[in-house]
Amino acid sequence: GAVVSQHPSWVICKSGTSVKIECRSLDFQATTMFWYRQFPKQSLMLMATSNEGSKATYEQGVEKDKFLINHASLTLSTLTVTSAHPEDSSFYICSAEDLPGLRTYEQYFGPGTRLTVT
């Protein structure tokens, strides 16, 4: 099956610094990737939809200048949390769709990145 990787799996950073999280589709090309945030005991909250070669579409309430998304290739999307604060501490998960032509509808999830801001 399709595999999506994320790096790093966990990161601790100091308040005010920036952190970059990578999401890669390993054995398929993904024109669309999704970035989610999940707080403890809560559902996945979609932050943005990342499209290869174009600007990401952010959900209402998500600051695009704080959560920078770059989808430079069909296998890589990155999320950069800028000027991180303790309230940004969360579990960040990406997912990817197969190329539209396949229309399997299934999203393949990365293993997630646990971000802790001190």
- Interface contacts to other proteins, rule CB under 8 A: 32, 34, 42-44, 46, 49, 91, 93, 97, 105-107, 109-112, 114
- In the complex, the smallest distance separating the C-beta of residue 66 from other proteins, rounded to whole angstroms, is 21
State the pairing for strand pair 32-38/45-51: antiparallel
- Nearest to other proteins of 18, 104 (CB atom): 104
Q: 41: buried, middle or exposed (CB in 10 Å: 19+, 13-18, 0-12)?
A: exposed
- In the complex, the smallest distance separating the C-beta of residue 32 from other proteins, rounded to whole angstroms, is 6
DSSP-derived 3-state class of residue 86: helix
- In the complex, the smallest distance separating the C-beta of residue 94 from other proteins, rounded to whole angstroms, is 10
- Nearest to other proteins of 82, 89 (CB atom): 89
Which residues, 6+ apart, have CB-to-CB distance to 116 below 8 Å? 10, 11, 12, 13, 89
- Nearest to other proteins of 48, 117 (CB atom): 48
- In the complex, the smallest distance separating the C-beta of residue 95 from other proteins, rounded to whole angstroms, is 8
- Nearest to other proteins of 28, 91 (CB atom): 91
Give the Å distances, CA to CA, from 77 to 26, 66, 86.
12, 16, 24
Token pair 């998960």 is found at 93
